[in-house]
Chains A and B, each alone.
Chain A
Amino acid sequence: MIPFRLTDRRASSRPARARTFKFRQLVGLLLMVASLWLMGWDAAHRRSGREAHTASIRAVVRLLGTADLALSSSSRWLRHPSITEPGAAFADGPAILDNDPAGAALGLPREVLAGFSAEPDVPPLMRERR
């Protein structure tokens, strides 16, 4: 046995720190995984709960005659409920672009502007010269 003189600071003046934190961190990681799993379980539970209301939702849609949500869209053929963007009330024409900002930057698909996908035959313009 080699004798060692501890010429350095005494141990009692330097309390040993608790055991490493790695297990605490591993637990933290596992907690995150558990949270995500719990979130998925809750989502599935809510979805199955919502299924029970599907019949009610469909009945409402039949009664109201529309499936549009009570949200603002500024589209003139979707019902808008009290929730309309200012200015949207004036855009009544079939080909008037929506007030949505995206409509200002990029045009909407043509069939959305037309209102239906097939156009009726239109006779050519007739011009009479004096």
Chain B
Amino acid sequence: MNVDNVMVRAVRLTKRYAAGRAEKVALREVSLAIPAGQFWVITGPSGSGKTTLLGLLAGMIAPTSGEAHLAGRPITHLRDHHRALVRRRLVGMVFQEFALVSGMSLEENLFLPWVPQGGAGRAERARARALLERFGLAEFAPTPVERLSAGERQRGALIRALVADAPILMLDEPTAALDSENVRTLLALLLALRDEGRTILATTHDRRLAEDPRVDGVLRLVDGVLEP
């Protein structure tokens, strides 16, 4: 139960990787709390651990120590299978590289997460159709994704994250491949989604996103440590 309305919480999250004989610390005792229905940005230079933090918060990778909570539910100590189930229900993820499979159409990519369950249901298909219309991509549904522009692929990845109708949206460097016009468009979209009640967390080193006054909060990560 989410008593204090915190949708995403990290408690002293630490992640160490083996790098040859030495050990690399990607994140060091990171704690944060993102309230429900807000749009937060995590900024920092390249290699500061933003992607790793997002992966830990989304339950994609397990921390070396510490805990992550989604909608008041701790996910760190869940088994992989249960963690994946929770993630599918609570988090829509947009990756920096869009994570679209070349050779598959936009539509097939949208329903990729549901293949192991036997395919997307009617509700997901209806939501996908509506989102494609809303984002102006309806006619590109059968188009192979490698034929789409970067902006179209970005929107496609966003649609896939929204089809599951998850309350939390996480985006990793969403503006990396976009021009200014598309960045403005994306920002407007994310704010609209925030206003609809979604909790949004985006990592970026793009100042256009980080310094926008309409963003609810900005956290700065440097060398794996969250600046106060």
List the interface of chain A (C-beta within 8 A of B): 1-2, 4-9, 11, 14, 16-20
Contact = CB atoms under 8 A, between A and B. Distances in A.
B78 interface: no
Contact of B147 (A5, A6, A14): A14
Contact of A7 (B134, B141, B181): B181
A4 B136 contact: yes
Contacts of B152: 8
A7 B143 contact: no
A20 B192 contact: no
Contacts of B192: 2
B189 A2 contact: yes
A17 B104 contact: no
Interface string B103-129: 011001000000000000000000000
> Which of A4, A7, A19, A20 counts the most chain B CB atoms within 10 A?
A4
Provide the main secondary structure of the chain B interface. helix
Interface of B: 104-105, 108, 134-136, 139-144, 147-149, 151-152, 155, 179, 181-182, 185, 188-189, 192
B134 A5 contact: no
A89 to B, nearest CB: 65
A9 to B, nearest CB: 6
Contact of A8 (B135, B144, B151): B151
B142 A6 contact: no
Contacts of A14: 143, 147
Given A2-B134, A5-B181, A20-B104, A11 B140 contact: yes
A19 B108 CA distance: 10
**Most chain B Cβ neighbours within 10 Å, of A6, A9, A16, A19:** A16
Contact of B105 (A4, A9, A20): A20
Given A18-B142, A20-B104, A20-B108, 13 more contacts: A2-B185, A4-B136, A6-B136, A7-B151, A7-B181, A8-B148, A8-B151, A14-B143, A16-B139, A17-B143, A17-B147, A19-B105, A20-B142
A5 B143 CA distance: 19
Contacts of B185: 2, 4-5
Nearest to B153: A8
